[in-house]
């Protein structure tokens, strides 16, 4: 795709935030930082559609947090039609990693991810999606 250059005016503080974002995400420069932010905020919204996509949900949580295991399980049962499989890893005493393979309408997968991500006690929740057809 051709690259277009354009000027951006930002408040100094916002620019510092951008530089911190670039550093935190180990990006090469501000252009990459802006691209990254746009991708996360605009392009991802396009996934909220009826296209069938495949992807994975990565969840990290503390299994000792009250109710979390039960809630994770019941939400996944609610969405059994889009869940292909899941794998659970006991990382250490207080951390579990669960990887859930999913396939279905992007809007449904996003809804499932939103429900899981908003669970109290979840340390990390991330959905990645790829075109499936």
Q: Which residues are at the interface with Ni ion (CB under 5 A)?
A: 90, 96
**Least Å from the CB of residue 48 to Ni ion:** 31
119 backbone φψ class: left, alpha, beta (φ>0; ψ -120 to 50): beta
**Least Å from the CB of residue 69 to Ni ion:** 8
- Token couple for 62: 């503390």
104 backbone φψ class: left, alpha, beta (φ>0; ψ -120 to 50): left
What is residue 63's DSSP assignment?
T
**Least Å from the CB of residue 76 to Ni ion:** 15
Smaller CB separation from Ni ion, 45 or 64 = 64
Smaller CB separation from Ni ion, 64 or 90 = 90
- Residue 1 CB coordination number (10 Å): 3
Smaller CB separation from Ni ion, 52 or 60 = 60
CB-closest chain residue to Ni ion: 96
Q: Do 102 and 58 touch, CB atoms closer than 8 A? A: no
**Least Å from the CB of residue 96 to Ni ion:** 3
Smaller CB separation from Ni ion, 44 or 71 = 71
Distance between CA 123 and CA 106 in Å, rounded?
A: 23
């Amino acid at each position: 795709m051709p690259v277009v250059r354009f000027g951006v005016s930002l408040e100094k503080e916002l620019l510092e935030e951008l530089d911190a974002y670039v550093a935190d995400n180990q990006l090469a420069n501000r252009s990459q930082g802006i691209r990254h932010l746009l991708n996360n905020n605009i392009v991802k919204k396009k996934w909220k559609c009826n296209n069938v996509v495949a992807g994975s949900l990565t969840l990290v949580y503390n299994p000792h947090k009250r109710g979390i295991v039960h809630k994770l399980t019941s939400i996944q049962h609610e969405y059994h039609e889009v869940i292909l499989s899941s794998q659970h890893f006991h990382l250490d005493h207080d951390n579990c990693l669960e990887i859930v393979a999913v396939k279905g309408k992007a809007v449904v997968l996003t809804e499932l991810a939103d429900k899981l991500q908003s669970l109290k006690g979840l340390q990390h929740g991330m959905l990645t999606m790829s075109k499936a057809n």
